[in-house]
Amino acid sequence: MQNIVLIGFMGCGKSTLARELGRVSGRFVLDSDMLIEQREGISVAEYFARYGEGAFREREREFIDWVESSVHGAIISTGGGMSAHNSVKPMGIVVYLDMAFERICARLSQSDLAKRPLFGDRTKALELFTKRQAIYQAQADITLNAELEIAALVSALDPLL
Ligand code: S3P
């Protein structure tokens, strides 16, 4: 059974949708940021501060290799930069959650922003968003409008579950 891999910009709702898909399908849910945090023993923000973005991308690369070789039938929520720096296609069916930048900003609280080192500055985050949109699109097997209700997103993915 193929994995379902959720990609998209920070704050577009990947983790929330992954949990809901896991709940309705009974499949296990993996969150790349959470697994990297657990393995390294520090938060993503702390990891960036200590070792830099390049090292974090290497940890993400290891996650992709592990999923490709060892994980089947899971729902996988990826960090927003994973699919911008590496091909995520080997992990499974790739679903891009597309959401407007303004909407993302409105959803993220101060504590959500503090957890995300690449969202410190809104202008820089918008540049990153603009640069990544075509990359997300190119990696996606399916693109969903992430502004829809979660129930609509789940039913759009129902044929894959
Ligand atoms: C990042 C997104 C974050 C996290 C890290 C870098 C990015 O995950 O992996 O802060 O480069 O877009 P979320 O998409 O879950 O915020």
Radius of gyration (C-alpha) of the chain in whole angstroms: 15
Residue 87 CA to ligand 1 centre (angstroms): 16
- Pull the structure tokens for residue 83: 């699919």
Q: Encode pLDDT of 128-157 as tens digits.
A: 999 999 999 999 999 999 999 999 999 999
- Nearest-atom number in ligand 1 for the CA of 132 is 12
Q: Which residues line ligand 1 (CB under 6 A)?
A: 10, 33, 44, 79-81, 116-118
Determine the pLDDT at residue 52: 98
Query: What atom in ligand 1 is closest to the CA of residue 36?
Result: 9
Q: 60 pLDDT band (50/70/90 cuts)?
A: very high
pLDDT at 120 over 90: no
As assigned by CATH, the class of the 4-160 domain is alpha beta
Per-residue pLDDT reduced to its tens digit, 81-106: 999 999 999 999 999 999 999 999 99
Q: What is the DSSP string of 117-160?
A: GGGSSHHHHHHHHHHHHHHHHHH-SEEEETTS-HHHHHHHHGGG
For residue 152, the CA-to-ligand 1 centroid distance in Å is 25
Distance 19 CA to ligand 1 centre (A): 17
Average pLDDT over residues 41-45: 97
> Which of 6, 10, 104 maximizes ligand 1 atoms within 8 Å of its Cβ, making it the mutation to test the pocket?
10
- Report the distance separating Cα 4 and Cα 112, nearest Å: 25
Q: What is the mean pLDDT of residues 5-24?
A: 98
17 Rama sector, left if φ>0, alpha if ψ -120 to 50, beta otherwise: alpha
Q: Would you kindly state where each structural domain of the chain is located, as residue ranges? A: 4-160
